[in-house]
Amino acid sequence: MFNLFVENLRISVTSVYENKGRSILTALGIIIGILSVTLMGTLISGLDKSFEKSMSWLGKDILHISRYEWFSDMEWWEVRNRPKIKPEYVKKIKERSRFALAVAPVMQRSASLQFEDEETRTEIFGTNQDYMETIETDISNGRFFTINEDHSGSRVVVIGEGLRKAFFDDQNPIGKFIKIDKIKFKVIGVLEEQGKFLGLFSVDNQAILPFGAYTRLFSKRGWMRISVKVPEKYINLGYDEIFSIMRHLRGLKPSQKNDFAINQTEVFEKQYSLLKIAIGGTGLFITLLSLVVGGIGIMNVMFVSVKERTREIGVRKAIGATKSMIMVQFLMEAVTICFVAGIIGLTLAYILSLLIGNFFPSSLPLSLSIISILLSIVIGVISGLIPAYKAANLEPIDSLRYE
């Protein structure tokens, strides 16, 4: 049985090689189909990893109080007219909330940062000592500022890993001074490297200042939100409590609409699910179309192959080949074409994923590679079944007489 399998495989490979131009052109549909499904899976896999990392940075147990909703369809002027989030809310939320573990005001704006001859423009944040509890990262070098440094408005700064590399390279930045909008700040800490948010922009180029210093020096511009950390198992209760506190702080009557928003990562997850459906649906449509076209093309080529080798089939049957042997031979030929097409499609997808990975998160899972090859084999079996059946049922006498 094994020798028969090897012989059929040899005949199939020889036939494909002798007609390699025709075989490759026929297999283009399969190559495109495998390439499409693999790239789609690669993109989604990379997005999944990037999304999980980004959501951990935002924090699933963090409530973000702001003037506007994430992904809102509200008119910009309506949001702009809402009252600003006030710094005094921080203390009042701490006093009134049973679930708040940490409450951090976060003011943000862009600024020019300079160290010696190096200069860049990036985002600066003004916050308090609770901020580190509201983000999923730590200090890799130095320390975070203290409550006394915050209250006194000390000109100290904690920088991201991106700024450390840009300004200091191999130097130790602790104790060095950088200028933020021409004002000197002492570097006291460096955050761990966090990478890109959703694979789009780096969060390592940030500078974090004490809230006291920020409000005194930069408060005329920028906007503010409040990050509240609550126990993850009480996230819904914490949300309801903070929502009630905020309505009271805003002085809203029961009949009045909210003039603030409490955002969670759940909103991002819903939008991300829609994005995955869109990518998956498009990729699936292209894949199915390519595989159907490719399968039909392979079936037609196999019919031509059966016709061209009719006398060969007659000779083989005359010397004792059974129907099953003939059928397996032509099935293996169709499977060989599809298998080679699958390998080519997978190789192209791997190369493209490496190129895409330089600009966007992408990851080619081993399971997806195996599924792609199995899918190409299945297409080969389906495409070759009818031609192989026709070849197996040819009459030996008629086949030998065929010109």
Give which of 240, 284, 224 is closest to 84, Cα–Cα.
224
d(CA 114, CA 93): 36
Count of alpha carbons within 13 Å of 95, Cβ hemisphere only? 7
DSSP 79-99: HHTSPPPPTHHHHHHHHH-SS
pLDDT of residue 247: 92
Question: 32 burial class (0-12, 13-18, 19+ CB within 10 angstroms)?
Answer: buried
- Give one DSSP letter per residue of 266-317, joined into a string: HHHHHHHHHHHHHHHHHHHHHHHHHHHHHHHHHHHHHHHHHHHTHHHHHHHH
Find the helix packing angle between 265-308 and 366-392, rounded to 10°. Answer: 30
DSSP lists the bridge partners of residue 228 as 63, 103
Minimal CA–CA distance to 212: which of 291, 282, 153, 271?
153
C-beta separation of 124 from 209 below 8 A: yes
Radius of gyration of the chain (CA): 32
Q: Which two tokens stand for residue 131?
A: 């901020």
> Could you tell me the two tokens for 342?
């699958």
Which residues are registered as beta bridge partners of 314?
none
Count other C-beta atoms under 10 Å from residue 354's C-beta: 11
Please tell me whether residue 264 adopts helix, strand or coil conformation: coil
Residue-wise pLDDT tens digits, 12-71: 566 666 666 666 677 777 888 888 888 877 777 777 776 666 666 666 788 999 888 877
Distance CA 42, CA 352 (A): 10
Asked if residues 260 and 344 have their Cβ atoms less than 8 Å apart, the reply is no
What confidence tens digit (pLDDT) does each residue in 122-159 have?
889 999 999 988 887 888 899 999 999 998 889 999 99
What pLDDT, on a 0 to 100 scale, did the predictor assign at position 171?
Answer: 86
Q: Model pTM? A: 0.66
**For residues 123 and 131, what is the distance between their CA atoms, to the nearest angstrom?**
16
Output the CA torsion 51→54→58→64 (10° steps).
-60
Write the CB contacts of 21 (distance below 8 Å, at least 6 apart in sequence): none
Distance CA 26, CA 220 (A): 67
* Positions of the chain with pLDDT under 50: none
DSSP string, 19-55: THHHHHHHTHHHHHHHHHHHHHHHHHHHHHHHHHHHH
Nearest of 210, 249, 199, 209 to residue 360 by alpha carbon: 199
The residue type found at 396 is P
DSSP letters, 365-391, are: -HHHHHHHHHHHHHHHHHHHHHHHHHH
